[in-house]
């Protein structure tokens, strides 16, 4: 394939010709029952390139009620045979899909980049690699999530089976469209569920392109389907009486609606991976260079459009001035790498679309009267949705920029005195996704990490995730967990079987 030119930031060369998609041939139809089909719904999505606001497509399908029903019916029809498919076969299909994603990673990343704007080297390539690894990791679980049994000393042998739920669905955001899809579909499929992916209206192309690879990998029709659409499509899935589970990643506001729709329909199971306002706490005895490195990386990756980005940085008074100097210098260096996401040297691309750009610009404008602007604060250039990395200092704890998720490259940087004070401040938020503690005192690190009310805590690191350990948040950052054995429990129902051994 290799449709990208020499100036683009490709990392690999593709070899086969069975993958028809490219920037000049975008997938825009729904992938139902292993075929690309026209939506019955006539409404369409318009998608633009955030680097120059140019129109990419105005005819991407929005799955309506009939389309969602068709996908659910196909999944329901496929489920009885799929749940009986051997673990070995399921494993092989997932492994094959992982290989196909790797093989076409450059094109898939480009299909995302066109409408997300994330450069290949700093985000796009890593995202696709992460997706392939998720399919491999959960392939490994297919024959290892074995259930339990308890002895019959009381006359009853007790067996607990992990049974799939049936038709499950994933609703994903735009900021990592393929990796979030993989984190949901891989465990769903590994445990014998059928899965319907609802892509984000802002980044539909890479998700839709997966259909070709799903079919080529050999998944039976109806087992893994992809619907493009907006919130209306997501709502149809969340309130569908035959969908047994929604795994959702997105904003807290939408998560709340999903929970309500699930409750009002069939009490379907839900997992919610929502927003964050993650604190990084840097103590006087921290390794300065390391703390600065993580705090910058954690804000600038994907132009700040990362749920667990370190957006509240708290630094102890003894190291504060030195930290500010290093953080500012590092951010200024990053600011030089804002630019065309298709160029190899670019680290930070634009924000995803006008809506997000206007939202972040509003925070920047209002933030000027809430704290002191240390650096950034403005648009870059006059075309596209580029924003400078921005830091505000001395921000009151109740200020909007300290409380609300901005979802752009914007941090607040405040000073603190004591451990007790900073634990209270770090926890004074509606969110609880991730936190970071930077210190060389292991006792302090463990003490503070146990006091922080969040699903994940990094010690001398922040804003990272691994497939092998649970990912998710407390409070309004969500409910349930992704990754590791924990997500397998989210996609299965334990069935207790009692065997009377006494006659």
**Residues classed as catalytic:** 273, 307
Residue 301's closest CA among 346, 342, 343, 251?
Answer: 346
Min. distance of Cβ 214 from ligand NAD in angstroms?
19
Our finding on whether 173 is near ligand NAD (CB under 6 A) is yes
Residues 346-365 that bind ligand NAD (CB under 6 A): none
Our finding on whether 169 is near ligand NAD (CB under 6 A) is no
* Angstrom distance (rounded) from CA 84 to CA 74: 17
The residues with which 316 forms a beta bridge, in sequence order, are 416
Min. distance of Cβ 496 from ligand NAD in angstroms?
31
Residue 245's closest CA among 168, 152, 310, 355?
Answer: 168
Our finding on whether 194 is near ligand NAD (CB under 6 A) is no
CB 385 within 8 A of CB 353: yes
Our finding on whether 47 is near ligand NAD (CB under 6 A) is no
List the 492-500 sheet strands across, edge first.
Answer: 148-150, 156-164, 492-500
Closer Cβ to ligand NAD, 275 or 384, answer by number: 275
C-alpha of 284 from chain center: 33
Selected from 109, 132, 165, 172, the binder of ligand NAD by CB under 6 A is 172
Q: Nearest 5°: phi and psi at 191?
A: -95, 10
Our finding on whether 342 is near ligand NAD (CB under 6 A) is no
Query: Which token pair is 290?
Result: 């390391």
Residues 403-462 that bind ligand NAD (CB under 6 A): 405, 407, 433
* Angstrom distance (rounded) from CA 139 to CA 52: 40
* Angstrom distance (rounded) from CA 83 to CA 366: 53
Closer Cβ to ligand NAD, 204 or 211, answer by number: 204
Selected from 75, 190, 235, 422, the binder of ligand NAD by CB under 6 A is 235
Selected from 32, 45, 171, 411, the binder of ligand NAD by CB under 6 A is 171
Only one of the segments 213-221, 228-236, 435-443, 488-496 lies at the binding site for ligand NAD (rule: CB under 6 A); that segment is: 228-236
List the 30-32 sheet strands across, edge first.
Answer: 35-37, 30-32, 224-227, 194-198, 167-171, 245-249, 269-273, 478-479
63 Cβ neighbours under 8 A, 6+ residues apart? 30, 39, 41, 71, 198, 227, 228, 229, 233, 236
What separation in angstroms does the CA of 99 have from each of 94, 139, 175? 9, 12, 23
Closer Cβ to ligand NAD, 4 or 175, answer by number: 175
Selected from 112, 115, 249, 316, the binder of ligand NAD by CB under 6 A is 249
CB 462 within 8 A of CB 479: no
* Angstrom distance (rounded) from CA 196 to CA 202: 18
81 Cβ neighbours under 8 A, 6+ residues apart? 220
Query: Which token pair is 267?
Result: 């009490």
Our finding on whether 168 is near ligand NAD (CB under 6 A) is no
* Angstrom distance (rounded) from CA 499 to CA 503: 11
Only one of the segments 6-14, 197-205, 326-334, 417-425 lies at the binding site for ligand NAD (rule: CB under 6 A); that segment is: 197-205
Min. distance of Cβ 405 from ligand NAD in angstroms?
5
Closer Cβ to ligand NAD, 230 or 284, answer by number: 230
CA atoms within 13 Å, Cβ hemisphere of 53 = 10
Our finding on whether 279 is near ligand NAD (CB under 6 A) is no
Our finding on whether 276 is near ligand NAD (CB under 6 A) is yes
Min. distance of Cβ 452 from ligand NAD in angstroms?
16
448 Cβ neighbours under 8 A, 6+ residues apart? 281, 419, 422, 423, 437, 439
Only one of the segments 230-238, 322-330, 368-376, 445-453 lies at the binding site for ligand NAD (rule: CB under 6 A); that segment is: 230-238
Instruction: Give the binding-site size for ligand NAD (rule: CB under 6 A).
Output: 29
E strands within 107-155? 148-150
Min. distance of Cβ 28 from ligand NAD in angstroms?
16
CB 401 within 8 A of CB 371: yes
Our finding on whether 201 is near ligand NAD (CB under 6 A) is yes
The DSSP bridge pattern shows strands 245-249 and 269-273 to be: parallel
Min. distance of Cβ 238 from ligand NAD in angstroms?
5
Only one of the segments 92-100, 104-112, 124-132, 273-281 lies at the binding site for ligand NAD (rule: CB under 6 A); that segment is: 273-281
Selected from 102, 110, 273, 342, the binder of ligand NAD by CB under 6 A is 273
354 phi-psi bin (left φ>0, alpha ψ -120 to 50, beta other): alpha
The residue with its CB nearest to ligand NAD is 234
Selected from 61, 196, 238, 422, the binder of ligand NAD by CB under 6 A is 238
Our finding on whether 476 is near ligand NAD (CB under 6 A) is no
Closer Cβ to ligand NAD, 257 or 328, answer by number: 257
Contact set with ligand NAD (CB under 6 A):
171-175, 198, 200-201, 230-231, 234-235, 238, 249-251, 254, 257-258, 273-276, 307, 405, 407, 433, 473, 478
């Amino acid at each position: 394939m290799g449709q990208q030119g020499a100036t683009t930031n490709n990392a690999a060369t593709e070899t086969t010709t069975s993958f028809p998609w490219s920037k000049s041939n975008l997938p825009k139809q729904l992938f139902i029952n292993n075929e690309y089909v026209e939506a019955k719904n006539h409404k369409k999505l318009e998608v633009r390139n955030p680097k120059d606001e140019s129109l990419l497509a105005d005819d991407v399908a929005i799955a309506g009620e009939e389309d969602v029903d068709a996908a659910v019916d196909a999944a329901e029809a496929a489920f009885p045979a799929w749940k009986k498919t051997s673990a070995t076969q399921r494993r092989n299909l997932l492994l094959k899909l992982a290989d196909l994603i790797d093989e076409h990673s450059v094109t898939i990343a480009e299909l995302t980049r066109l409408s997300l704007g994330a450069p290949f080297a700093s985000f796009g390539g890593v995202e696709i690699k992460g997706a392939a690894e998720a399919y491999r990791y959960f392939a490994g679980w297919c024959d290892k999530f074995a259930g339990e049994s308890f002895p019959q000393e009381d006359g009853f042998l007790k067996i607990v089976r992990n049974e799939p739920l049936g038709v499950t669905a994933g609703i994903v955001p735009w900021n990592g469209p393929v990796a979030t899809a993989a984190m949901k579909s891989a465990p769903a499929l590994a445990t014998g569920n059928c899965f319907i992916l609802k892509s984000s209206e802002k980044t539909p192309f890479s998700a839709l392109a997966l259909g070709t690879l799903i079919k080529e990998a050999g998944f039976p029709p109806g087992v893994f389907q992809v619907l493009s659409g907006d919130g209306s499509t997501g709502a149809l899935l969340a309130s569908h009486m035959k969908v047994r589970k929604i795994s959702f990643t997105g904003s807290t506001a939408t998560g709340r609606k999903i929970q309500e729709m699930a409750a009002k329909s069939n009490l379907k199971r839900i997992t919610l991976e929502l927003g964050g306002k993650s604190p990084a706490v840097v103590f006087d005895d921290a390794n300065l260079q390391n703390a600065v490195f993580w705090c910058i990386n954690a804000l600038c990756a994907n132009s700040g459009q990362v749920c667990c980005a370190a957006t509240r940085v708290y630094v102890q008074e003894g190291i504060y001035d030195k930290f500010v100097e290093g953080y500012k210098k590092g951010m200024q260096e990053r600011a030089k790498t804002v630019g065309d996401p298709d160029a190899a040297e670019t680290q930070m691309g634009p924000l995803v679309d006008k809506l997000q750009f206007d939202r972040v610009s509003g925070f920047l404008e209002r933030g000027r009267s809430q704290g002191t602007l240390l650096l950034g604060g403005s648009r870059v250039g006059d075309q596209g949705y580029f924003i400078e990395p921005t830091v505000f200092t001395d921000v009151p704890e109740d200020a909007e920029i300290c409380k609300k998720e901005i979802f752009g490259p914007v941090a607040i940087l405040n000073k603190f005195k004591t451990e007790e004070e900073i634990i209270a401040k770090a926890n004074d938020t509606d969110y609880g996704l991730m936190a970071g503690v930077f210190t060389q005192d292991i006792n302090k690190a463990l003490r503070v990490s146990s006091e922080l009310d969040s699903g994940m805590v990094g010690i001398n690191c922040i804003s990272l995730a691994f497939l092998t350990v649970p990912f998710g948040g407390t409070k309004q950052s969500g409910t349930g967990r992704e990754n590791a054995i924990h997500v397998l429990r989210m996609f299965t129902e334990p069935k207790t079987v009692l065997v009377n051994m006494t006659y």
